[in-house]
Structure 1
Amino acid sequence: MQRRLFLRTGSASALTLALAACGGGGGGGSELSTGVTADGIGPGSTSRRAVDGPDTYPFGARLDPYVAGILPSASADQMDAVIRRSYDAWKARAIVDVPTVRGGKAVKFGNSGAYLTVSEGIGYGMLITVLMAGHDPQARSLFDGLLTTVRARPAYSIPEHGRWLLDWRLTIDGSSTDAAGGGWNAMDGDLDIAMALLMADRQWGSSSGWNYKQEAINTINAMAAWNMKPDGTTKGMATPHVSRTSDYMTGHFRAFKRATGDALWDRAIDRSYQLVDRMQSVFSPNCGLMPDFIIHTDTANPIPSPGGYGDFVDTEGYYFANAQRNPWRWGTDYVTSGDTRWRDVCNKLVSFIERDTGGQANRISAGYHLDGFAMNRSYEPEGMIGPMLCGAMVDPRFQGFLDNLWNWNAGNFTTDYYDSELQLIPMIVASGNWWNP
């Protein structure tokens, strides 16, 4: 069941400028306006031929041990077997050709008859394929096919920087139109795309085929200019003082700082923590929850969204369809960086979830009010249960809960869009197979 809505990001003033400049945008006109063709060929890019090469970090290698946290009690071989099997099922369902982009691939957007893909899904797909190289001999060609689509479908309504960002939603034939994504980007998709590109540079190098490193830097710098405030706060398009907590991908921010040297990404980590700490301490002191969206980020007193500001729905102030990804992002950051702020954030959240469920993964609600009220226990929400794996990795006292979460995800893997990716990537992290560029 598809439950996702999306925040489009940028600034209100630029929105007016872009709409005036693009003349409505969409279709082939969007490609011509940026110099990027349907073949994915554009300025700053290298040859588009697929180049075979060694995988320098093959799946299962575990070359970079985690610096903190715990792993499930299952053996590495057992966990890798589960992930390989899950990946193969995901790949068979998820990866599709893009009819209007030669050589383009996409991650299929649910069962919608109107839309082929969203940028968030392509970002997930790029992370997954770069991590699964070494298991899947097609991993690089799939990754390059996804990247081909990224560069063939730029965020055409964004002046100057849009060529390095992805139109957030494509029609069923893979076209950009004003009625689909409108030529605007979604920050979460571009964050994962940039991170995956940096990982691809480590995995395959950038000396032949795509220049992954430069493509990553181009996207990182475009997000710095378009999606970020100078103090490190992420921002929304029509509502620049609205921030989505699931955009606080602090591990990605560390990688972006290493790649570019831009201190903005250090400020982004600090600002993300300030906002999350306030949500937990002031608005969810007994549960450690945080909302999908925070508003009034330009003031000293940001608050959870009352609804209608981010995804333009009534559930924006709850721990729900966006915030459910947070323990995955922050648990991953903690085990690889050792930054104890994110251990403490996850500790508060996971402690409540463990109490609420009696340590049973299948009792997790599909969402929570910030006071801990469970919104829906009528089904087992894979997209809520998967990310909790990484949150439970931060402290040995969660070992029993972590093992229960691993066993449940391993035995209940779905291939439905969004839930599938929110199980597969956290399982990769929990198994010790995540790594940084």
Structure 2
Amino acid sequence: MKNLLLITVAFLCLKSYSQKQPFPANVVFTNGLMATNKNSQDAQNNYDTWKTNFVEACSNGRYRIKFDDPSQTVSEGIGYGMLLAAYATDKTLFDGLWLYYKDNVNSNGVMNWKINGCSGINGANGATDAELDAAFALIVADYQWGSTGVINYKNDAKTLITAIKAHEVEANTFVLKPGDQFGGSQITNPSYFSPAYYRVFGTFTNDATFWNQVAAKSYTIINSNLTVNNAVGGLVSDWCQASGAYSSQASGYNREGKTYTYDAARTPWRIAVDYLWYGNADAKAYAKKSSDFVRLNLGGSSNIKDGYNQNGTLIGQWHNATFVGAFACAAMAGENQTHLNASYTDLNQLNEPNSYFNHTLKTLYSFLLTGNFYLPETKNLSTGDFDVEKSTVTLYPNPSNDKFTVSAPENSIVSVISAEGKIILEQKTTTENTEINLANYSSGLYLIKITNGNKSITKKVLLK
């Protein structure tokens, strides 16, 4: 009996940590090209190195990501880490990073951008790219593990998306602000633009009209920036106004934000995702420009350096993963298989294991290039699309003394029906877990009918 109990407990523990999509997923995207020499073991190796070199445990199950200065952590790193952990199905790390994020939020509900070690604010207020990555990572976590455990990923994702909408998108213009306390039409950062995420947010929160407008505005700004400044290829500037012109408010940034350096370098990656996942024509056009710049203007990936003026003239000197990998992702939306394969090889051969920015981005890029940074199944993203007949509806504890919890889709109607067939209580669910109190009713068997839209399912509960 003791052995049977141990086996049962072990099974339950394993079940609670099961995931929808194991790693590697090896997804083949409907749109674009995949490198024929890709290997998910490369992504796994990059992840293992990243985790060894940059993840540090704090107390109470929290984890942080070590920045360039290892004594500090930035919100960007937490967002990147959450993305990687969600796709790598590393639930313990994911949960610890998210708890760390929540421990360090400001009054707007977004993480203060720089923290001293495990606690202590060093840089106040939010950086929008971190919020976007964290919110999307929570959606992936909900897809992977569901939201009936200790952390309700779905509710947390919706809360964070609401905060982004309220504080990090400029009112009435749909311009993405670079932080919750500054920016908008007068200064924005194109490398933060994540139109594929916005489409997911719109589905997930039933707010597609708003988020599609944020996506459209992103392309308007990028294209204006390229046109106004006579840019070659997809060489956007690090910072700009919504008009595309350079911003006077960027005077404190590298080269006044007027060049394609370590901010702008991420843009081809983020935009390529929108084409690979959604087939967006604007995304393809931008990514192809970026890829063609490398293939035609530079003569191939091996000639990439870490900085350019928008007219294509060189200002950088280093060949590193931040730039090489983003352009490799853009090549997935290009039309030259040989160039993509060579770009993949070039990225894979770069070895910068102790560089926070270069190796973290290399790992993210390698996940996309190998089909392990993918769009979760759309049917699982929207509560409105949840089919109650096919979902896992549970009641617990059952039998119950007086109270029990119904785990069912949000916005369902829970009807409690007596043995005589009368509805004695009805309650609408506002979260996935709803407590029903039958303390004022007699013991016996009750039917619990859960209705969502025009679908319903009936369960039984025994009241002791």
TM-score range, shorter chain: 0.7 to 0.9
Amino acid aligned to 1:251: A
> Take 2:115 and 2:303, find their aligned partners in 1: how far apart are those partners?
35
Aligned length: 358
In the TM superposition, what are the counterparts of 1:3-402 in structure 2 within 5 Å?
52-62=16-26, 65-74=28-37, 79-98=39-58, 101-110=59-68, 112=69, 115-133=71-89, 139-156=90-107, 162-163=108-109, 165-172=110-117, 174-177=118-121, 180-182=122-124, 184-229=125-170, 230-236=172-178, 237-240=181-184, 241-262=186-207, 263-295=209-241, 297=242, 301-305=243-247, 308-309=249-250, 312-359=253-300, 361-377=301-317, 379-397=318-336, 399-402=337-340
Amino acid aligned to 1:268: V
| Alignment check: 8 A CA contact 1:167 1:176 kept | no
Amino acid aligned to 2:219: Y
Shift of 1:314: 2.4
The 1:246–1:285 alpha-carbon spacing in structure 2 relative to 1, beyond 3 Å, is closer
> Take 2:247 and 2:23, find their aligned partners in 1: how far apart are those partners?
40
Amino acid aligned to 2:51: K
> Take 1:148 and 1:355, find their aligned partners in 2: how far apart are those partners?
46
Shift of 1:248: 0.7
| Alignment check: 8 A CA contact 1:242 1:293 kept | yes
The 1:311–1:97 alpha-carbon spacing in structure 2 relative to 1, beyond 3 Å, is farther
Shift of 1:384: 0.9
Shift of 1:312: 3.3
> Take 1:196 and 1:122, find their aligned partners in 2: how far apart are those partners?
10
Amino acid aligned to 1:56: K
Amino acid aligned to 2:83: L
Computed over aligned residues only, the root mean square deviation of the Cα atoms, in angstroms, reads 2.0
Shift of 1:332: 1.4
| Alignment check: 8 A CA contact 1:284 1:290 kept | no
Aligned match of 1:10:
none
Compare relative contact order (CA 8 Å, sep 6+) and give the higher one, 1 or 2: 1
Shift of 1:129: 0.8
Identity %: 26
List alignment gaps of at least 5 residues for structure 2. Answer: 1-12, 377-464
The 1:74–1:386 alpha-carbon spacing in structure 2 relative to 1, beyond 3 Å, is same
Amino acid aligned to 1:404: A
Counterpart secondary structure, 1:418 = helix
Amino acid aligned to 1:144: D
Counterpart secondary structure, 1:294 = coil
Counterpart secondary structure, 1:408 = helix
The 1:353–1:414 alpha-carbon spacing in structure 2 relative to 1, beyond 3 Å, is same
| Alignment check: 8 A CA contact 1:327 1:390 kept | yes
> Take 1:244 and 1:50, find their aligned partners in 2: how far apart are those partners?
43
Q: Deviations over 1:209-243 (max 9, x none)?
A: 21001101100000100010233101243444211
Amino acid aligned to 1:107: I
Q: Deviations over 1:121-148 (max 9, x none)?
A: 0000000011112xxxxx1000000011
> Take 1:310 and 1:233, find their aligned partners in 2: how far apart are those partners?
20
Amino acid aligned to 1:221: T
Amino acid aligned to 1:292: D
Shift of 1:281: 2.5
In the TM superposition, what are the counterparts of 1:404-419 in structure 2 within 5 Å?
404-415=342-353, 416-419=355-358
Shift of 1:342: 0.5
Shift of 1:50: 12
Aligned match of 1:433:
372
> Take 2:101 and 2:328, find their aligned partners in 1: how far apart are those partners?
30
> Take 1:258 and 1:141, find their aligned partners in 2: how far apart are those partners?
27
Q: Deviations over 1:326-357 (max 9, x none)?
A: 11111111011001111001111221122232
| Alignment check: 8 A CA contact 2:32 2:334 kept | yes
| Alignment check: 8 A CA contact 2:46 2:362 kept | no
Q: Deviations over 1:170-214 (max 9, x none)?
A: 013x2233xx112x0110111100000000000000011210011
> Take 1:394 and 1:207, find their aligned partners in 2: how far apart are those partners?
37
Please say which of residues 269-278 and 258-267 is displaced more in the overlay. Answer: 258-267
The 1:239–1:61 alpha-carbon spacing in structure 2 relative to 1, beyond 3 Å, is closer
Amino acid aligned to 1:154: V
Q: Deviations over 1:377-419 (max 9, x none)?
A: 3x2122111111110100222x222111111221223221011
| Alignment check: 8 A CA contact 2:231 2:312 kept | no
| Alignment check: 8 A CA contact 1:151 1:166 kept | yes
Amino acid aligned to 1:175: S
> Take 2:137 and 2:351, find their aligned partners in 1: how far apart are those partners?
23
> Take 2:177 and 2:370, find their aligned partners in 1: how far apart are those partners?
33
List alignment gaps of at least 5 residues for structure 1. Answer: 1-48, 134-138, 157-161
Counterpart secondary structure, 1:396 = coil
Structure with the largest fraction of strand: 2
Amino acid aligned to 2:361: L
